Structure 1
């Protein structure tokens, strides 16, 4: 299935100092390659985003965001659909935040809540300075970000991208390098070598990290632990729980319970208006 494009607005106005855009990205849709005269923070409050830039290709979970500095050409999309949030930050303001290179960083519960609130009040009259205070808090949070190495790398090579899309869509797919080599017209050894070259990790390690990303998506959508384990292709619930604990330091139940408590500690926010990337 081909990907479809989403057109960005032609009348975008430079942020002063920050603008929040909100949009749902349907499955297999993307914003075509472009750049901005301002910095951008790419984030999804639910679902996963694919971000392709001069610095590489990767997928980020709802716990992560990507900083894209001014002038960097990039594409943003979603394989399975995502609630997309984009922060546009003025050139001078952003220069003192996360630097001039693309970066993946963790989104704290506070920063997520601030982004949701900023999107909800975007465009409203700010008589008492409330929106300005939210903006200052967001910028203050961005100053405290630190790079993360845990994004999911994504190959640029067409054949390998096809492989990754198939596995991401169906994590339980049992086919190994030999089977996929036949499908893609290459030997298992060639596939393995090219995959490491494109992503910096083996196919086996990539699948393990990909399953973690999908686990967070599925659990966050309300799916139970046992069904999530089956959807991801684990032989048993205990095997899934063990793998999750190994990567995240807690069981799936404890991880999601912690997220629920974080959400419960925040006041409910109105639904964000739809904008564009």
Structure 2
């Protein structure tokens, strides 16, 4: 099934100092590649986004965001649909933040601030409250921790897209490199080289990272540890817990308790776009 392109409106205005955009992205939709004259933080309140920039492409969950410096060409989309939040940040306000695209962890506090900024966007700021929320967001961005282990994702048009989408939909898919090579019309060796070049690791390592990514997504959606282990194809709950602990340094239960340290932020579905200022992805 082909992806469809979302139209990015014209007439963009420079953020003063932050513009927040909220939009629901349908499944298999993406914005065309483009760049801004300001910084951007790409984030999904729910669902998973794919973000491509400067030869790299990532899938990010609601625990992650991507920082895109001014002028960096990028493409944003969603395989299964997502509640998209985009923060445009003026150059001056973003001074000192990374000079290259960066994936970083989103704390519960930063998530709550992003949701609040979207809620009050466009309202009159009589008592300076919006300005204080903006200052806190910038402060949280400066404290954000980079995530070198983000899930790599193939760029649009890549021959690996079918493979990665199939494994994302079903992490238990038993096909190995030989069968996938035949499926994609290439030798096992050629497939291995292509995966290493585009994803930066072996197919086996990518599948292991995909399982971890999906585990966090599934548990965040309410599945318990045992059901998550079964969904991901682990032979037992203990095998899943061991694999999770090896990668994350804590058990799945401890990870989810940490996520729940702050109260859940109530969300509501919004119109296709709602923000202060102009629009774009």
TM bin (shorter chain): over 0.9
- Contact kept? 1:22, 1:272, Cα under 8 Å: no
Alpha carbons of 1:119 and 1:32: their partners in 2 closer, same or farther (altered >3 Å)? same
| 1:102 has 2:91 as partner | no
| 1:93 has 2:98 as partner | no
Counterpart residue number, 1:153: 152
| 1:25 has 2:25 as partner | yes
Deviation of 1:57 after TM superposition, in Å, equals 1.2
- Contact kept? 1:80, 1:169, Cα under 8 Å: no
Counterpart residue number, 1:171: 171
Q: Partners of 2:109 and 2:55 in 1: how far apart?
A: 28
Deviation of 1:39 after TM superposition, in Å, equals 0.7
Matches within 5 A, 1:208-219: 208-219=208-219
Counterpart residue number, 1:74: 74
Please, what is the CA RMSD of the aligned residues?
Answer: 1.7
For 1:57, what is the secondary structure of its paired residue?
Answer: strand
Give TM-score, length-normalised by structure 2: 0.91
Deviation of 1:72 after TM superposition, in Å, equals 1.1
Q: Partners of 1:270 and 1:195 in 2: how far apart?
A: 37
For 2:263, what is the secondary structure of its paired residue?
Answer: helix
Deviation of 1:271 after TM superposition, in Å, equals 3.7
Deviation of 1:270 after TM superposition, in Å, equals 6.1
Counterpart residue number, 2:124: 125
- Contact kept? 1:6, 1:30, Cα under 8 Å: yes
Unaligned runs of 5+ in 2: none
Deviation of 1:219 after TM superposition, in Å, equals 0.8
Alpha carbons of 1:140 and 1:46: their partners in 2 closer, same or farther (altered >3 Å)? same
Deviation of 1:131 after TM superposition, in Å, equals 0.5
String of CA shifts for 1:195-245, please: whole Å, max 9, x gaps. Answer: 112111110010011111111111111122222222212222221121112
Q: Partners of 1:124 and 1:241 in 2: how far apart?
A: 46
| 1:111 has 2:110 as partner | yes
Q: Of Structure 1 and Structure 2, which has the larger fraction of its residues in helix? A: 1
Q: Partners of 1:97 and 1:147 in 2: how far apart?
A: 14
For 1:44, what is the secondary structure of its paired residue?
Answer: strand
String of CA shifts for 1:112-167, please: whole Å, max 9, x gaps. Answer: 11111111111111111100100011111112234320111123362212211111
Aligned length: 273
Matches within 5 A, 1:232-247: 232-247=232-247
Unaligned runs of 5+ in 1: none
| 1:258 has 2:268 as partner | no
Give TM-score, length-normalised by structure 1: 0.92
String of CA shifts for 1:6-37, please: whole Å, max 9, x gaps. Answer: 21222332210001111121211111111111
